[in-house]
Amino acid sequence: MIKNIAFIGAGNMAGAIIKGLLEQNYPAASIQATTRTTASAERAAAELGIHTSTDNRAAAEWADVIVLAVKPQMLQATCEGLADSINTQLIVSVAAGIDTASIARWLGNEVAVVRSMPNTPSQVGVGASGLYANTRASAADKAFAEQIATATGLCVWVQDEAQMHAITAVSGSGPAYYFLFMEAMIRAGVKLGLTPDTARQLTLQTALGAATLAGQVDVPVDELKRRVMSPGGTTERAISAFEAGNLPQLVEQAMTDCAARSQTLADELAK
């Protein structure tokens, strides 16, 4: 189904979703975006090929669906500025931390809100989004929010809003963990004598291959790992070094800190 979608904010995340939608042939004429500054609006229009402006209210009044994609710290002021322009539009918020009740309250309460936690691979159709809907959201509202999410990748629903913090720690922030790991592998490959280009190509193809294999065979990831590790071979040495450095515990700590930050944003910004 085609509806008019206004993105309030046209930064990294909104841009990734808009590119994903356009890639799926969603009509550019049915997507608008706003920014705070004229320079950003012009940049986004040139990059995305859609209508952009700095007029949040005009975009909201044109839209059937409003995607809130500003920083969490900007969300309350942005919503309060939009409140008079909201009647029947569906609100989708991608802001980390902030709960649907706060968003509804800032917008005037009687509002259907779907909270989404997407990630930047949405730009190339392999995003992962977690969704939660408030009780005002109808089946049709949920179906449309899901249409946006599935146009850009995988989508899962949660019934307990508190789980959005964990989703942020797994998939919302998750791409950055893999990029960090790739960065480290490329650097180490170069130290071992490869050219940067060769190290980069092999690292990226290996990440893609591992994720594709794990997704296509019905074998748990620990068994897939074991199948690479010949006894007394090379991989065993590498895995031992990761375990000696407590990589699994470090990952758990990093993700616990990430989820806690999402909760803190909610506590500080959505009182």
Ligand X SMILES: NC(=O)C1=CN([C@@H]2O[C@H](COP(=O)(O)OP(=O)(O)OC[C@H]3O[C@@H](n4cnc5c(N)ncnc54)[C@H](OP(=O)(O)O)[C@@H]3O)[C@@H](O)[C@H]2O)C=CC1
Ligand Y SMILES: O=C(O)[C@@H]1CCC=N1
14 vs 90 by CB, closer to ligand X: 14
User: Could you say whether residue 168 binds ligand Y (CB under 6 A)?
Assistant: yes
User: Could you say whether residue 120 binds ligand X (CB under 6 A)?
Assistant: yes
What x/- string results for residues 57 through 96 when contact with ligand X is judged by CB under 6 A? Answer: ------------xxxx-x---x---------------xxx
State the minimum distance, in angstroms, from the CB of residue 95 to ligand Y.
8
Instruction: Determine the interface stretch with ligand Y among 58-66, 83-91, 137-145, 167-175 (rule: CB under 6 A).
Output: 167-175
| Token pair belonging to 135 | 């009780």
36 vs 200 by CB, closer to ligand X: 36
Q: Are 169 and 97 in contact (CB under 8 A)?
A: no
**Where do the H-state alpha helices sit in the chain?**
12-23, 38-48, 56-62, 72-82, 100-107, 139-151, 163-167, 174-191, 196-216, 221-228, 234-244, 247-269
89 vs 168 by CB, closer to ligand Y: 168
Rounded to whole angstroms, how far apart are CA atoms 16 and 11?
A: 8
Choose from ligand Y, ligand X, none: what does 152 bind? Cβ within 5-8 Å by kind.
none
| Token pair belonging to 241 | 């070094």
- Cβ neighbors of 3 (< 8 A, separation 6 or more) are 30, 63, 64, 65, 144
153 vs 189 by CB, closer to ligand Y: 153
Total Cβ atoms within 10 A of residue 76 = 17
State the minimum distance, in angstroms, from the CB of residue 265 to ligand X.
8
128 vs 199 by CB, closer to ligand Y: 128
When computed from its CA atoms, the radius of gyration of the chain, rounded to whole angstroms, is 21
Rounded to whole angstroms, how far apart are CA atoms 243 and 248?
A: 7
Contact with ligand Y (CB under 6 A): which of 31, 44, 79, 96?
96
User: Could you say whether residue 152 binds ligand Y (CB under 6 A)?
Assistant: no
DSSP string for 125-140: T-EEEEEEE-TT--HH
DSSP string for 26-63: --GGGEEEE-SSHHHHHHHHHHH-SEEES-HHHHHHH-
154 vs 194 by CB, closer to ligand X: 154
Write out the binding residues for ligand Y, residues 182-201 only, by CB under 6 A: none
By the criterion CB under 6 A, which residues form the site for ligand X? 8-14, 34-37, 40, 56, 69-72, 74, 78, 94-96, 117-120, 172
By the criterion CB under 6 A, which residues form the site for ligand Y? 96, 168, 172-173
